Amino acid sequence: MLSSPRHSYKYRPGRRFRGISRRLLLSCGIALGLPATAGAQGSAAENGEQAAREEILRLLRQSPPDVAGLDAALARLGAAEAARAARARAAALAAAAPHLLHDPSDIPAGNPEGALTLVEFDDLDCPPCRALAPTLDRLLRQDRRIRLVHKDLPILGPASEFAARAVLAAARQGAYLELRARLMAARAPVSAALVAREAAALGLDPARLARDMADPAIARKLAANRALAAELGIDTVPSLVVGGEIVQGAVGMDDLRAALASAGG
C-alpha cells in the first residue's frame, strides 16, 4: 500500500514506535500471541511467520539478547506479514469489485466506458483531496482510457456530511460532477453557504436540492461508502484504488502513472 501520510487525513488514530522500544513492544506482542506449538496444517506462508516468531522468542531468551539477530528476525516476520496483508487486501478488493467498480448509483468522471477504473475515496472538505483533484483532472484529460469513480467519504465532520449529501442530491438534477468540481476548487472550507452559492451558480433548484439531501436513500449511499471503506481497510482520505493496490494521500502524477502501470495500464 503506497501512502503519503503528510498529505492525507486518517480517521482512526494510531501510534508509532521507533527504535529499540518498537522492537521490544513488538517482541512482547509476539510472545503474548504465540501458540504453544506451530500449526502443522498451516500454509507455507503461515508456517514461515510462525517460524519467525519462534526464532524471535528464542533470541529473546538469550542473555544478553542478540539485537542484530532480533532485527533480522523481525524483518523476516514483517515481510511475511506484509505479504499476507497484501494477499488479504487483494482478496477483499476482488470480493468488493461489484460495489467498488460497478455500482450503478455512481457517476464516473473521465471516460464512462474506459478500460481502466480508478476509484477515489475522498472528503469534499479535505485539503489533500482538493490538492489531488487537479492532478486527477489532468490525468483524465491525458488518458482517455481512465474511468474515475468517486466514493464520497465524509469523515471530517458535519460540514463534510452536508457537502456530500449536496453533491449526491445534485446528481438528481444532472450536476453531481459539476457541483463536486466547484466545491473541490473552492478556496473556503465547505459550508451550507458555499454549497448554496455554488449550486445557484449551476442553476440548481434549491428547494429540490434540500428535499433530495434529506432523502434516506442519500444517507444509505453514504453508509454504503463507509462500509465499503471499512471492508477494504481504508481509513485515510484521499485513498485511490488502482487495480489491486490502495494508494493513500495526495500523490503526484508519477505515482499515479506507476500505480496504473502496475495495474496493467
* Pure H helices in 155-215: 158-170, 176-185, 192-201, 206-213
Residue written as cell 434540500?
210
Range name among 21-35, 226-240, 242-256 with the lowest pLDDT average: 21-35
CA distance 236 to 13: 10
For residue 72, pLDDT over 90 is answered with no
**Those residues with Cβ within 8 angstroms of residue 244's Cβ, 6 or more apart along the chain or in another chain:** 89, 90, 93, 94, 263
**Average pLDDT across the chain, whole number:** 83
Strand partners, 120: 150, 240
For residue 135, pLDDT over 90 is answered with yes
CA distance 107 to 105: 7
CA distance 171 to 177: 8
For 127-137, what is the mean pLDDT?
96
CA distance 45 to 168: 44
pTM: 0.71
For 247-254, what is the mean pLDDT?
91
Higher pLDDT, 207 or 93: 207
Residue written as cell 498451516?
42
Helix (H) or strand (E) holding 80: helix 67-101
CA distance 208 to 205: 5
Q: Are 45 and 83 in contact (CB under 8 A)?
A: yes
For residue 18, the model assigns a pLDDT of: 36
Q: Are 190 and 163 in contact (CB under 8 A)?
A: yes
